[in-house]
Amino acid sequence: MIGKKHIPQWKLDEVKELIELFNQFDSVAVIQVSKMSDKQVQGIRKTLRGDAVIKMSKKNLQLRAIEQVIKDTNKENLDKLAKNISGQSALCFTNKNIFDLRRVFNENLWMVPAKPDEETPVDIWVPEGDTGLPTGQVISELNMTLRLPTRIQNDTIWVREATRTHKAGDFVDVKQAAVLKKLGVTPIESLIKIQYAWSNGEIYTPEIIYMDIKVFKQNITTAFNTAKQIAIQFGIIDELTIEPLIQKARREALGIAFEIPVYIDGLRDDYIRKAVTNGNALNAIVFGGSKPVETSEKPTILDHKKEDEDEEEEEVGIGGLFG
């Protein structure tokens, strides 16, 4: 008879601690730590002290803890978090907003040496000046491995001028990486990246976590304005569309009023503006718009009585010629 497999106590304790952390904090972020130095991990832990806990555990223990939390609490979408934990990932437990956590990570940028047997993502430069290295065997490494222009000064090796040893995309072999590290050259940016996150049942993918906020705001503004214009076209009334709908209705009513042969006293100023617009349009067609139509603030209202008197005087005068 085969007995039950014995589970080491340390594993049971590890799972228990993870379960307690899941119950204590509202948010969990999956972060990749395999390419991070111990100093970088310790530095970010110090920065987040009191706000977050970074727990590095084996993946199978992380999954066992999540499985138990789901059974005990029925927290939504933890199964999706479990599916997105890759090997050598740490869990960052926090009550901070996921975007605030991302900001903290982004603000703690580390510069690290080039990785051996990998392509460099950036140009690598060795600066001009004192390397601090004593003369001897190392000078041949600098000259042969990195092709650096050097000189001896005050018993140390100096680089005569700033030199680019690698272009972005170049392969860095083991010897080159070792010499660059010996020189203290750290050209590679190292940031803690959130691979996936869970917060109170909500899932955050990298596309959401690292979205361009400016572009996002622009898209929201464009979508809002488009939706508002559609609502106005369809006559949908709410607090945002009522004013432009009234303005639209007035414009349409004026358009109808201008087409009918009836003078409406209350629209005097509108008639003037319409006449000026039409006059300027004709002026532009006939004269190329060189001289705008001159108008006064008030329309000229004809005095019909005065006009009749003038006509009578004119008739008398003409009759007198034949008198």
Q: What is the mean pLDDT of the chain?
A: 83
Binned at pLDDT 50, 70 and 90, residue 243 comes out as: confident
Q: pLDDT of 249-296, one tens digit each?
A: 877 777 777 677 666 666 777 778 877 887 888 778 877 755 555 544
Q: Which fold has domain 9-109+191-211?
A: Alpha-Beta Plaits (3.30.70)
Question: Do the two domains 9-109+191-211 and 118-190 of this chain adopt the same fold?
Answer: no
Output Rg (C-alpha) for the chain, integer angstroms.
40
Residue spans per domain, the chain: 9-109+191-211, 118-190
**Residue 222 phi/psi, 5° resolution?**
-60, -45
Distance CA 270, CA 253 (A): 12
Q: pLDDT of 101-114, one tens digit each?
A: 999 999 888 888 99
Neighbouring CB atoms inside 10 A of 90's CB total: 19
| Domain 118-190 in CATH 1.20.950.20 | no
